[in-house]
Structure 1
Amino acid sequence: MMSDEYLVDCNIDDDEDEDNEEMPLYLSPHPPPPQFSSSSPSITPQPSLASVDIRDPYGVNQHLKVEFSDVLAEPVSTHTYDRVWVYSGIGFESGRIWGYRCLTVLCAVPVSLLSGCLFALLACLHIWCVMPCIQVCHTCLPCVRSIWMSVVNIFIRPFCESVSRCCTGVYVSLSKD
């Protein structure tokens, strides 16, 4: 049997109206990420560093919710001892939780610092390099288009018309011998 310290009490209410009234604004339906939001940014609640309880407000990492039964499962035909199964589940959950905590203690600050620097670099390149180049291309594109059309009309079009006139006199006939 599993000890009581690993059991979780789940209260299930059938009345949905009460749940919606008690639920804070930031929990009832999650707003879309800012890049997919159609409303103005002032209306969409933004997560802050002060909210420690809600660390994934947009549900970005829903695919990482892994439980013991998602990874290990015994078919009906083969079962191990109940204690082995319970202790395996406890070991899995403890290893997953404490492994994550230890790795985040070692990696979270350096990786977040590097990620912040990477996104700052990407933002800087986009703002100061990519967008000016795109605007220059949009500005010069009509001139380039007119030059390209002149080249096509002067050189390529007469060549293609000559080749087509030469090929119009070619007849292919198939016969059985």
Structure 2
Amino acid sequence: MMAEEHTDLEAQMVKDIHCKEIDLVNRDPKNINEDIVKVDFEDVIAEPVGTYSFDGVWKVSYTTFTVSKYWCYRLLSTLLGVPLALLWGFLFACISFCHIWAVVPCIKSYLIEIQCISHIYSLCIRTFCNPLFAALGQMCSSIKVLLRKEV
């Protein structure tokens, strides 16, 4: 029974991965690169007032920058996109594996052990420190300080 449920779950996950629609228009739906890598010509090259180049040079520079950035990105993503996607998929799978199988169990184990120690520590504080500080407080409660400003 459990093996059938596990197989059904795996089949559903594979179906979800293959049937998920990929948005080819909005490729950054969570806006993770909105302000980081969005670089336009005006963000990189700007001429202050009084130091303008010829209008033709400015237009050709704009076009050259924009077209070369566009095609260079497309070429690099074509050559390296799939291998890097494989690398990043592998890396995040390893990170997930370590987190699930090592980090969380270590933290849970630590919390269980530290809970026992915290009870002993709390007992020691209440037994030894609380009476000591209460006595010191009683002794110092009768101290009065008077400040006068002499001229």
TM-score with structure 1 setting the length = 0.55
**What amino acid sits opposite 1:92 in the alignment?**
F
User: Which of 97, 109, 116 pairs up with 1:136?
Assistant: 109
Matched residue, 2:99: 126
User: Which of 53, 62, 66 pairs up with 1:93?
Assistant: 66
**What amino acid sits opposite 1:135 in the alignment?**
K
**What amino acid sits opposite 2:134 in the alignment?**
E
Q: What is the 5 A alignment of 1:1-177?
A: 46=20, 48=22, 55-63=27-35, 64-74=37-47, 78-104=51-77, 107-140=80-113, 143-175=116-148, 176=150
Secondary structure at the aligned position of 1:170 is classed as coil
**What amino acid sits opposite 1:61 in the alignment?**
N
- Cα gap change, 1:136 to 1:92, in 2 (>3 Å): same
- Cα gap change, 1:65 to 1:46, in 2 (>3 Å): farther
Cα RMSD for the two superposed structures: 3.4
Size of the aligned set, in residue pairs, is 132
**What amino acid sits opposite 2:33 in the alignment?**
N
Secondary structure at the aligned position of 1:174 is classed as coil
Secondary structure at the aligned position of 1:62 is classed as coil
**Is the helix fraction higher in 1 or 2?**
2
Structure number with the bigger relative contact order (C-alpha 8 A, sep ≥ 6) is 1
- Cα gap change, 1:172 to 1:144, in 2 (>3 Å): same
Identity %: 35
Distance 2:102 2:138 in 1: 49
Distance 1:46 1:57 in 2: 15
TM-fit CA distance, 1:47: 5.0
TM-score with structure 2 setting the length = 0.63
Distance 1:90 1:159 in 2: 79
**What amino acid sits opposite 1:83 in the alignment?**
G
- Cα gap change, 1:79 to 1:172, in 2 (>3 Å): closer
Structure 2 unaligned segments of length 5 or more: list them. Answer: 1-15
Structure 1 unaligned segments of length 5 or more: list them. Answer: 1-41
